[in-house]
Homo-oligomer: A and B are copies of this chain.
C-alpha cells in the first residue's frame, strides 16, 4: 500500500447531478432535498446538487436548501467554463451558480485537445483562457473552486503536455482541487495508477501557493488531486482505488453507482474498500454503519429496485447457503466473510434453500427473534414441512415472509387476521389486441363475518388483488398503505408446458419495509393469489408487531 502523509480522504457525492443522468431515473426537488440531507448525515463532505445554469429545477433546489441548510456538508453547484470568446462576468450560467449561494463551486473544462478543436471549435489557447478566466472570476466573487478536468485520461494519453497545461491554468487561477475525470469510462487501473502518479509529481513541481487562504478542507498550499470515474469497463471502483493509492485525495462517485450509461463509481463500495481495507478515513465509524440503510433509502426515493447482489450493501451480500457452511460461518464468520456485515449496517442472512439443514432453520428462527433448540421437535417439524413444500415447488430463498408465516404456524403462533373462502375470476377478450376485461369475486371471512366483494382490473391478478383489498380495508385500514412492488412468475418443470406448476413471488411494501411471499399451483392465478394473500397477512403481522413494540 502507498503510504501518504495523512490518511484523510474527501468524498464528493454526485448522485444528485451525474447520478440523475441514469436512464430511467427521475427525481423531484423534494426527492433531491431528502437525499441531500441523508448524505449529510452519512458524513459526505461535498455534495454536488445540480447544474443550475442548465436546469431551472436545480435553481429551485439550491434556493430551497438555503432555507433548510445542511449540517456539515458543503453543497456544490456544477457548471462549465465560460463559452469561447465571451467574458466570465457576462455568462448567465455563472450568474446562476453564484445565485445558488454556496461556498464552493465545481467548474468543468476540456482537457482533450481534440474536444477543444472539434467540440468547442476554438483554439487550444482560448480553452486555457476560458478555464483561467472562469476560475479567477468565481474567486473574485468569494467562491472556492473545484476543477473537473473532463475526458482527462483520454486527453492525457493523446497529448499529455496540453492536458497538463489545462489543470495548471486551473490551479494558477486558484482552483483548490483538480479532479481527473475518466468521462468515457474506458481507462484501466494500471493506466490510472501511472497517470495519477505523474500528475501528483507534476503538481509538486509547480510551486504554487496562491489563492488558498481558507484552509478548512485542504491541508496543503498546493492544489490537491481528485478522481472521477465511470463504469463502462466495470472498473469505476477499482480505478478510484488505484487513483487514491497513487496519491489522489478526493473521490467522486454516487450512491449505488447510479449514473449515465453504466454508471459512476459506486460510493457504497468505494467507502468500505478505502476505510475498512486500506485504512483511509472517509466518514465516521457510526456513519459507515448507516451505509446499507442509506443505499436502500436512496433507491427507494428514486424508485428503483435495490440491487440485491450489490457488494457490501446488497441483501445477498452476506447470504449463506447450505448446512455445513452455515455452522462454519456461525463458528468463525471471518473465514467465510470478507468483512463483518454490521460494519456497513448490513446483516448475515441464512438462505433457506433446497440444501438447508436444521442449522439453517435454527439460524433463521434466531433472526426472527425465536430461540429454538436443535433438539426441539418443533424445529424438525418446521424442517419437515419446509421440505414437503419445497418438493411441491415452493421456494423460500426469496420469500422470507412466507417462511416466517410457516414458522409461526408450526409454533402455533400464526394469527388468523382473515380467512379466504374462495374466488372466481372471469376474463373476456373479444378481439385480439383489444383490451380484455378481468373481473374477480372473492369471499373472505373476518371475525366470523363473511364478506363478498367484486372488482375489476387490468388483468386477472390485479382484479383479484383489488377485490381482496376492498374486502379487507374496512377491518384493517393500514392495508391502504400496502402496495405490490414486484411480481415474478416462474413455471416449474418447463417440459410439461402450460400444464406445469407455476410459482409466483410477490413483493409487497408499506413505505418503510418490503417483504416477499410465494405461491405455487398448476393454476397461475391461484399461485399468484396465494402469494398476494400471504403478502397482505404478513403486512398486517408487521403492523401489529410494531404496534405491540411501541406499547412495551
Contacts and interface: CB of A to CB of B under 8 A. Distances in A.
Interface of A: 1, 21-24, 26, 28, 30-31, 112, 114-115, 118-119, 151, 154, 184-186, 188-190, 231-235, 237-238, 241-242, 245, 260-263, 266, 269, 273, 277-278, 303, 305, 308-312, 314, 316-319, 321, 324, 328, 331-332, 335-339, 351, 395, 397-398, 420-432, 436, 438, 457-462, 464-465, 483-491, 493-500, 502, 506-507, 521-526, 528-530, 532-533
Contacts of A431: 421-422
B429 A427 contact: no
Contacts of A487: 491, 494, 497-498, 500
A6 to B, nearest CB: 20
A156 to B, nearest CB: 14
Listed from nearest, the 3 A-B pairs whose CB atoms lie closest are A186-B338, A484-B497, A238-B238
Max chain B Cβ within 10 angstroms of own Cβ: one of A336, A420, A427: A427
A118 B335 contact: yes
Tell which of A115, A278, A421, A523 has the most Cβ of chain B within 10 Å. Answer: A523
A190 B495 CA distance: 40
A22 to B, nearest CB: 7
Contact of A332 (B118, B314, B522): B118
Nearest to A423: B429
A351 B112 CA distance: 25
A273 B188 contact: yes
Main secondary structure of the interface of A (DSSP, over half): mixed
B425 A339 contact: no
B495 A305 contact: yes
Contacts of A186: 277, 338-339
B308 A23 contact: yes
Q: Which of A336, A459, A464 is most buried by chain B, counting CB atoms within 10 A of its CB?
A: A459
Contacts of A231: 309, 311
A491 B489 contact: yes
A17 to B, nearest CB: 14
29 contacts: A21-B321, A23-B316, A24-B397, A118-B331, A185-B311, A185-B338, A186-B277, A186-B338, A188-B241, A233-B338, A234-B266, A262-B309, A305-B494, A424-B426, A424-B429, A427-B523, A429-B526, A458-B522, A459-B525, A460-B525, A461-B524, A462-B497, A465-B498, A484-B496, A485-B495, A486-B495, A488-B494, A498-B506, A498-B528
Contact of A438 (B245, B335, B506, B523): B523
Contacts of A533: 432
Contact of A188 (B277, B311, B423, B426): B277
A438 B499 CA distance: 11
A41 to B, nearest CB: 22
A487 B503 CA distance: 12
A324 B498 CA distance: 38
Contact of A488 (B238, B316, B491, B532): B491
Contacts of A486: 491, 494-495, 497
Nearest to A440: B427
A451 to B, nearest CB: 15
Contact of A430 (B118, B242, B422, B461): B422
Contacts of A233: 237, 269, 273, 277, 311-312, 338
Contact of A23 (B303, B351, B484): B351
B426 A425 contact: yes
B490 A232 contact: no
Contact of A436 (B235, B398, B526): B526
Contacts of A260: 319, 321
Nearest to A531: B498
Contacts of A491: 486-489
A495 B521 CA distance: 24
B397 A23 contact: yes
Contact of A523 (B190, B321, B436): B436
B530 A432 contact: yes
Contact of A119 (B335, B395, B422, B458): B335
A333 B89 CA distance: 34
B427 A425 contact: yes
Contacts of A238: 189, 234-235, 237-238
Nearest to A332: B118
Contacts of A310: 262
Name which of A118, A278, A491 has the most chain B CB atoms within 10 A of its CB.
A491
A459 B490 contact: no
Nearest to A151: B335
